[in-house]
Amino acid sequence: MSLDQLQRFLLDELDIRGAVVHLGPVWQQVIAGRDYPFPATELLGEMCATALLISESLKQPGRITFQLKGNGPISLLVVDCDERLNLRAMAQTAPSMEPAPAPQLLGDGQLILSLDMPTMRQPWQSVVPLQGERIATMFEHYLGLSDQLPSRLFLAATPTGIAGLLLQKLPEADARDPDGWNRVEQLASTITPRELIEVPAQALLTRLFPEETVRVFEPRRVIHDTPEDWTKVRNMLRSLGREEVESVLSEQGEVVIRDDLANREYRLDAAAVAALFDESPPTLH
């Protein structure tokens, strides 16, 4: 089975579109070393799959950021993705928690979607209340409001792999086949989380829709590319000032900057801090 891949498809005769995503190694890179409680890992994985399925339509340079903010044991889930399907994600959670329905884990909160592109003067943002018993139904509600297209999401997540299936009913679907959407929904609802994760995309579509004409498009790779950005870190520390940075160094023995979204740490010892402030800052012209 091909991992770290997104496959778009179209049910030609029904005017229903969709996509399937599978992640293995990329997902493991995203959560490496984080030690999230399993309920948080599961919800973050489902949100990553959802974000990729939605972000697939982004063709121009830009970045879509998805946030679920609440007052529950999981206070924040953030996933962002660019036009290359470069995925980053993080969670803010209590150190431990028992399995529970998503509304109980997230509490009262909001779903926030932001789109930032070089051609835009400022990022576009949409905020809606959290509604639904699962990540899938929360985003189905959002897609119904934003795209005004009936949508169904099927998601599965484990610590080693995640997967998702998105179906959307296009405007001409009822004219093509009045019962087509209901039939496809019922067929898709038979899938189990294990099948969704383990069965390759094309085999999955054949198994779910054996009587339908399914047109698949070229699959796209999903990546987790988070190169170090020492320039950004140094500029941020210089903006804090030498006194404050050296105070942290004195208390902790080193300065540690954590980029949670990229899952990366930057560490500076005494020599690195001294060099940071002894260097001449770049001259602006």
Domain at 5-221: CATH architecture: 3-Layer(bab) Sandwich (3.55)
- Tell me the domain boundaries of the chain: 5-221, 230-278
Strands (E), the chain: 5-11, 16-23, 63-70, 74-82, 87-93, 109-116, 124-129, 151-157, 162-169, 214-216, 220-221, 255-259, 264-268
Contact (Cβ atoms closer than 8 angstroms) between residue 44 and residue 106: no
Give pLDDT tens digits along the chain (285 positions).
558 999 999 999 999 999 999 999 999 999 999 999 999 999 999 999 999 999 988 878 999 999 999 999 999 999 999 999 999 999 999 999 999 999 999 999 999 999 999 988 898 999 999 999 999 999 999 988 887 899 999 999 999 999 999 999 999 999 999 999 999 999 999 999 999 999 999 999 999 999 999 999 999 999 998 888 888 888 888 998 888 988 988 899 898 888 888 888 889 898 888 888 886 544 443
Domain 230-278 sits in CATH at 3.90.1280.10
Distance between CA atoms of residues 128 and 141, nearest Å: 9
